[in-house]
Amino acid sequence: MSSREQILGKIRKSLGRGVLSAEQISVLEARLATPPLHEQPQVNTDLALQFTQKLQKVGASFSDVENESLIPFALIALLKEWELPLQVVIDAHLQALPWTDDIQCAVRVAQDDDKVSVTEAFAAVAETGTVALLSSHSPTTLNFLPETHIVIVHRAQITANLESVWEKLRQQNMPRTVNLITGPSRTADVEQTIQLGAHGPRRLHVILVG
């Protein structure tokens, strides 16, 4: 018996449940195939507008570019504005962009001394201003280690709500990790005072493409 079977066996025993019947399995498989949709709040028909409004409300910022070829130039302008070195660590999906010699790009996991990471989102949520990132798409360290995290979001990737993100995920192989990020890292554990960068980046910026 494998470790997985042992664990599941202990769970069944604690629940007082034996092996499922064929009928029970059929019901569960049907529910997984067509999960019921619960009540959802109304979302503005302009998903990009609502997403950026919610994004700013949680302390993040955004900028627009017309197409992907302009992303490197937008990044250079942002880093100069923030007085940061023109050095970024990016995920492999962004390697094909027309990078110039004005900016240094490293394609790898994040390291302690990295200041800025750039990743491409899997989806974004208009309801909450959340970005969804997958470990199968880019190293998870890029999302949390550097103090400044820049996320590339295409307008077509913006969904109305979180349920829509899971629907989109079910159409592919599930990654090991799904990171749902809403604004920069913050905590009020110490004297109820907001501190940024407690468990991740101090700055979250979205470049909206399209």
Q: Please answer whether residues 78 and 150 qualify as being in contact, where contact means their C-beta atoms are separated by less than 8 angstroms.
A: yes
- Report domain extents, the chain: 1-34, 44-209
Reported confidence tier of residue 9, pLDDT bands at 50, 70, 90: confident
Position 20 scores a pLDDT of: 80
Position 31 scores a pLDDT of: 84
Query: Residues 61-86: what's their mean pLDDT?
Result: 96
Reported confidence tier of residue 170, pLDDT bands at 50, 70, 90: confident
Q: Tell me the CATH class for 44-209.
A: alpha beta
Lowest mean pLDDT among 9-13, 176-180, 193-197: 193-197
Regarding predicted confidence, which is higher, 195 or 206? 206
Say yes or no to pLDDT of 65 above 90: yes
Query: Residues 200-208: what's their mean pLDDT?
Result: 91
Does this model's pTM top 0.75? Answer: yes
Q: Please answer whether residues 127 and 159 qualify as being in contact, where contact means their C-beta atoms are separated by less than 8 angstroms.
A: no
Regarding predicted confidence, which is higher, 137 or 83? 83
Position 188 scores a pLDDT of: 59
